[in-house]
Amino acid sequence: MAADVYGGTGRRIEAGQDVRKRRTRSVTETAVYAFLFFAFAEVAIHLLTLGLEHQGGVTLAVSEPVATSFSRPDIVDRNGRLLATDLEAPSIYADPGMVVDRDELVEKLATVLPDIDSKELLRALSDRSRRFVWVRRGVSPKVAQKVHDLGLPGLSFRYELKRAYPDGKLAGHVLGSVNVDNRGLSGIEKYIDEKVGTDPIHAAVLSTRPPVRLSLDIGVQHALEDELDAAEKLYQTKGAAGLVLNIKTGEVLASASIPRVDPTWPTQALDSKHLDRITGGTYELGSVVKTLTIAMALDEGIAKPDTMVDVRQPLQVGRFTVKDFHASNRPLSVTEVFTHSSNIGAGMLALEAGTDRLEGFLRKLGMLTTLTTEEGTVAAPQLPDRWGRAATITVAYGHGIAVAPLQFAAAAATILNGGRPVHPTFLRRFDTDSVDEKPIITENTSREMARMMRLNVSGPDGTGKEADVPGYRVGGKTGTADIAKRGGYSSKSVISSFLGAFPMDDPQYLTFVILFDPKGTKETHGHHTAGYTAAPVTGRLIARIAGQLGVRPMEVVASQ
């Protein structure tokens, strides 16, 4: 009995101990869970408090302006060779709120970016409310790596599109430039923004638009620029310019102005010495304009190639006397007026035609109105204040009227292609709409002018002999114009030019080379006139480009 009682009492004691243990464990677990709950609650409340305290800063960061850039289509030459494209480039920015020591940051950055505006950057970084400050956009990977290696807190990188020009300065004036946001500022780049289209982006996203195909030929462009560079050095000029034009289509195959511009540096084009002289300047071009005057005389029926003109006496224009550079002691035929480049003869033909017919003919050729191309608006021609007798005479031989070289070249091409108006274009032209336009001069006039231009290069008395290239039947006209100065003209400073074309049995291509203030050399026997300077440059140019353009040389004997 006692044993049973003892045994039962023991079991009750063990059961009570288990209950107490479970209760103790439950209390402990509850305490732990409560502690964790309150701990997490405190953290949540603290995070919420921090979030509310910094709400203004978060809003400011979101509202900080994000730069919008633009993706652009590639630019290629007529054969698809790349002239301009977009590349991904790192840009550097700073978060002022993360910058530890702004003075140190600016000082160290200056070792990698020596041209940085330190004062402006310090000012921007001092504003801690800002979360984004541009430091430098579109740097090279090498520069970005150097900045990264500085290990400066607060500096970061983002990739943007940057315009790149694989051939450097080649065709720089034509291509134009873009700004830091990749928007076109000038030239074909501006044309793309206005007519082709770009796409706004916030990251380095390349354009899916088809390339813009230009009329330029990289090979011809390189040859032109190379020859102009050589001429600048040889004749110590103050500048040079030139172009190559398809007479049939109006396509500009090459256009250059020396000094050249680098399209990656837009500010360079703002310097007057880097003016695009082909489209951006107007000049009195001198005797090359006789090409138009004599074409007018033939087309208006005033004269024929063998009509004689008595050029033995100078022409009086007010207090000025118009003379010939090489005086003739006999009358000259109209053909000889052209090949001898007679100022008197051109003036007499213009007087016989009359002011109205001369002005009307030039207007018909597009010489008196403003020309626009894809590169931009061409400099407007400078015309006589009053078209009287004096203006009629001087305009006839290339003074008293100043035009852009491209505008004159288009008029000359119209003379040579059978009279169909030439509209210059910097885009590859696949149609032949211009060919279908009604001719504005007769086919006979065009043929006679081509014959005269060939004779001026191949004949013994021609002023353009130095432009001849055996086998290619080159023709042309020289022009030497005194440069205007206050109160008159300077005979010591001239614009020397040569209007060339080939092959003259069916003119396909026109060249125009202009040298500004060339100096006489030993090779030119001290002369600075076009026959000794611009003409030989043209000859060397045509010798280089004729084959590229697919013009096959004829037998030398047959081509005379």
Over the chain (560 residues), the average pLDDT of each successive run of 10 is 43 49 57 60 57 42 58 98 96 93 94 94 91 92 94 93 96 96 96 97 93 98 98 96 97 98 88 93 97 98 97 89 88 97 96 97 97 97 95 95 98 97 95 70 98 96 94 97 77 92 97 96 90 97 97 69
* Six token digits for residue 395: 């305009």
Q: Which residue, 479, 512, 513, 457, is CA-closest to 346?
A: 479
Let me know: does 477 contact 416? Beta carbons within 8 Å. Answer: no
Nearest partner of 152 among 222, 96, 206, 204, judged by Cα: 96
Q: Which two tokens stand for residue 200?
A: 């706004």
Q: Hey, where are the domains in the chain?
A: 66-97+128-197, 218-545
Q: Which tens digits make up the pLDDT trace of 88-98?
A: 999 999 999 99
Q: Are 156 and 94 spatial neighbours (Cβ–Cβ below 8 Å)?
A: yes
Distances (CA, A) of 248 to 86, 108, 417: 34, 60, 6
What pLDDT does residue 220 have?
A: 98
Q: Enter the pTM of the model.
A: 0.84
Q: Which residues contact 321 (CB under 8 A, 6 or more apart)?
A: 314, 315
> Which residues, 6+ apart, have CB-to-CB distance to 154 below 8 Å?
94, 95, 96, 97, 98, 99, 100, 105
| CATH number attached to the domain at 66-97+128-197 | 3.90.1310.10
pLDDT digit string, tens, across residues 258-278: 999 999 998 887 888 899 999
CATH class name, domain 218-545: alpha beta
In SS3 terms, 187-236 reads as HHHHHHHHHHCCEEECCCCCCCCCCEEECCCHHHHHHHHHHHHHHHHHHC
Strand bridging mode 155-164 / 82-94: antiparallel
| pLDDT given for residue 106 in this prediction | 95
Q: Among the options 207, 257, 287, 496, which is catalytic?
A: 287
d(CA 427, CA 250): 10
Q: What is the pLDDT of residue 326?
A: 81
Q: What is the pLDDT of residue 437?
A: 80
287 counts as catalytic: yes
Answer yes or no: are the C-beta atoms of 285 and 497 closer than 8 Å: yes
Angle at 310 between CA 304 and CA 315, to 5 degrees: 115
